[in-house]
Chains A and B, each alone.
Chain A
Amino acid sequence: EPEVTQTPSHQVTQMGQEVILRCVPISNHLYFYWYRQILGQKVEFLVSFYNNEISEKSEIFDDQFSVERPDGSNFTLKIRSTKLEDSAMYFCASTRYMNTEAFFGQGTRLTVV
């Protein structure tokens, strides 16, 4: 069964450093997303991406965040200068069409120290 894969599974970084979280969405999917879940809180939407551009983003997704689809398979989330409060599980997701069920990756646990 096709699945969304994320690397790395766990990333520890120092405050102020840049991190890149990587995702390989399901190959025939057209819409890509990043969500995050801070420990003990709900899963929150960060950004959606379609046709090589951001289609929607939340208030969380400020100028420190960026997304890119550098080739036909990868979808990345970059945090330019990490803060302690960026520590969370980051989930990548993809959908074939709009308003269909999203398939999530297993997540990357980001720890900022």
Chain B
Amino acid sequence: DQQVKQNSPSLSVQEGRISILNCDYTNSMFDYFLWYKKYPAEGPTFLISISSIKDKNEDGRFTVFLNKSAKHLSLHIVPSQPGDSAVYFCAASVDGAGSYQLTFGKGTKLSVIP
């Protein structure tokens, strides 16, 4: 049951160019979305999030876009740097009383080529 889908397992981008990572979701109850970056042998590191009341959130080189009607979000990294090479996970949650759990996609491995 893939409620969060990242259909591209890998992406290669030249340094300085834009990286666009995509994520689709099926559960219309999701209302909070996050992107995490993960290096080998480390835990996921939070990058940026967006609430369903917004369609864009920007933090430095990272921008997340949310298209609720299409149930699609994307992460843009501009300009891409070699240190951005990692696996990027899209995650989503439903705002519920008492706790929340994250549902992750399978990840996209980004390689930024110098």
Contact = CB atoms under 8 A, between A and B. Distances in A.
Interface residues of B, number: 25
Interface residues of A, number: 28
B93 interface: yes
B101 A48 contact: yes
A103 B101 contact: no
A65 interface: no
B43 A33 contact: no
Interface stretch (B19-27, B61-69, B72-80, B104-112): B104-112
B42 to A, nearest CB: 5
A33 B49 contact: no
A95 B95 CA distance: 14
Given A41-B106, A42-B106, A99-B93, A104 B45 contact: yes
A102 interface: yes
B101 A99 contact: no
Taking chain B's interface residues, is the majority helix, strand, or loop, or is none over half, making it mixed?
loop
Given A91-B44, A104-B44, A104-B45, A42 B101 contact: no
B101 A33 contact: yes
Interface in B46-96: 46, 49, 89, 91, 93, 95-96
B98 A56 contact: yes
Contacts of B104: 42-44
Contacts of B106: 41-42
Interface of A: 4, 6, 31, 33, 35, 41-45, 48-50, 55-56, 58, 91, 93, 95, 98-99, 101-107
